[in-house]
A and B are shown apart, each in its own frame.
Chain A
Amino acid sequence: MAGLGTGAFMLPGLAMGRPVSPEALLMPGDDVAMKKRLADAALNAAKSKGASYADVRIGRYLNQYVTTREDKVENIVNTESYGVGVRVIANGCWGFAAVVDAKSEAQLAKAAEEAVAIAKANSKLMKEPVQLAPQKGFGEVSWKAPFKKNAFEVPIREKADLLLSVNDAAMKNGANYVNSILFQVNEQKYFASTDGSYIDQDIHRIWPLFNVTAIDPKSGKFETRRSLSAPMGMGYDYLQSNPADKITGITTRYNKGYDMLEDATAASIQAKEKLTAKSVEAGKYDLILDPSHLWLTIHESVGHPLELDRVLGYEANFAGTSFATLDKWQSKNFQYGSKQVNLIADKTQVGSLGAVGWDDEGVNTKQWDLVKDGVLVNYQAIRDQAHIIGAEESHGCCYADSWSSVQFQRMPNVSLAAGKTPLSVEEMIKDVKKGIYIIGDGSFSIDQQRYNFQFGGQLYYEIKDGKIAGMLKDVAYQSNTQEFWNSCVQVCDERDYRLGGSFFDGKGQPMQSSAVSHGSSTARFNGVNVINTARKI
């Protein structure tokens, strides 16, 4: 599920950590030598109690959220969470224990011993012992997100002023209400395992977003338009846009730099325009989907069904299973999409939410094909799943949302490869007789095996005989995953390639949240069923 990834203006009900002063977010974490000592204490204790494998994650998780509405700063939240999670295999079974604020070797050793005791107890209920794909150790290594400006170093006043100026621009251009938020996250993670890895990583994420509302006083109708920003694995530099980051057209969209002020201005004008836009006539249309919209369709209809734990039934009671069963993959000819469709999993893409050097079980990250020339070729698997698909190594997509959560298989960035033939959005639209151009993500829903879905957007434009004929409203499209991806006839070239993503993708019980990006260029899907969502109450 994309969870709260698409602009719900609620903070997630997740334990983010304790409130701290903003200055505390700039304090350095423990030094690497100390973390190594602590980690070794846990690893040695686990081994001495009989663990055949152990890993330790020492995590410091920092969050800062600034929320505003109109001319008011509503809330500034600064949180810090620090602790250690120890995972072991003993008697062939996983065991896990976590300890808050662990600063001594004795605390770490005790947690390791608890983890071994839990593994031994659970092994009595186990059906098959864990098979862990081999992984070489990397020694002492580190990875840092490649940002230019650390968002946590920017004074809160400057961030609040930015949001208030965004709100002001929205109100001056006709919005009745505006809410804006700036989310910033820093994960400082130290991983060590009995394979001989000691990995120190510094991960940064940022997400500026807003929602404007325009009301027609005569009818009492209201319309909204959300920001076209993407959550990114970047620093504050994402908010320093330059002309090269802008994709101009019917409305401006953004690549690696976001002009929030400009987007808020456009959003207010467009929210008002939506009030009088034509209500869509239900029927079949060719859809031109912008990357700011298509990311969510990729996430739900490709990212989730190709998670191997879902395919195997481990998520059956919550998120569900998958239509993309092992027999379809084994057939080597399951046509997931048309020949134009190449879907790539990736944990390395610069600026993406999923990018890290190593995953949360010490596997170096990589890129791999999921769907090649339309055919299903692979899944997303971690160390204890690799053998199930005959792989000799993990894909490196294991993640835990906190030191206190058990790491498990999470979605890497999953993206649609840009088309190889030069093609612009304008050229693509020119050939469409009856179509709808959709920008921005909106309502989203998909069944528990990922067949049937329905998506809305932020902006809908009618295409008639190769030209944009005006704005539409009340649009949602419904399709079936395989049918939809097989109706993909064109993908624009790499000049149009951009990332979208989810900051709060939910999975597991108890639920864990993760952040993931999805890239694409604008793509065309022929003959998709569009419904009209207008109702009267």
Chain B
Amino acid sequence: MTQSPTLSRRSSSSASPQPRKSRRRGADARAGYTFLLPWLLGFIALTVGPMISSLYLSFTNYNLFEAPKWIGLDNYTTLLQDERFLQSVGVTLNYVIFGTPLKLAAALAIAMLLNSKRKGQGFYRSAFYAPSLIGASVSIAIVWKAMFGDSGPVDQGLSFFGINLGGWVGNPSMTMPMMILLTVWQFGAPMVIFLAGLKQIPADLYEAASMDGAGPVRKFLNITWPMLSPVIFFNLLMETIHAFQIFASAYIISNGEGGPAGSTLFYTLYLYLRGFSDFRMGYASAMAWLLVVVVGIITLIFFKTSKSWVHYSGDSK
């Protein structure tokens, strides 16, 4: 993923310094940085600068109105004893650990169902994809809340089968399943990516396996899974990182409070409340940095372990 661009033109000029070539290289360097300017400015002013200052702020007490006061590691040690913080970590981990695999399993299953030369594939693909486009919006959060509310259609539908759960929204043990359903509902985006990956798998592999008498399970384990593993890896990484950052739906469904009983107090929601409601900017910065570190470690673990199960074409397996 972090492959550097190929520097093919460079090799020819290394033998003897030619004035024209070097002039061109100088002009290229100037042009390069000129064209890069929009991104570079944004990178420095909106990413690197703020990252450094939030790291600094995370060691201070700052409320936006008085100068930041250096307090060392206090924010971090307080975090570890902050029950609401620990709860937000639990809620978010629950959501990531159960929601993401379920979503990807649904995406893969339906991609495999659709991966055939049947009519209507374009229609199905679009229909399944649609929720991904609107799922994170405020509108859908409102609809979700209404659907899973007391005597909403979900409650009524379940009562029909004799399951009386009442409204999910007000029940602390049902809000997580509700949020997970909301993310699983948006399986369409990874599904479309899986589908593109499945189409790249040569059909003769399956034919050969059939001749050898392999059943669907063997075919899936020995052909589909390894051939698709780079796509699975990509989806898993992106969806996991994405899941950590859920905000709008949690905010709307819980009226910006993370309730009931803190059951929807997602990490980013708690960060927002601390930073922009209590104006404890230093504390919120410490939370933000912890998130960066955790996501960084998870990314690293993903990349490290990927060597054992992700096969890129050209690899000797």
Task: State whether these chains interact.
Answer: no
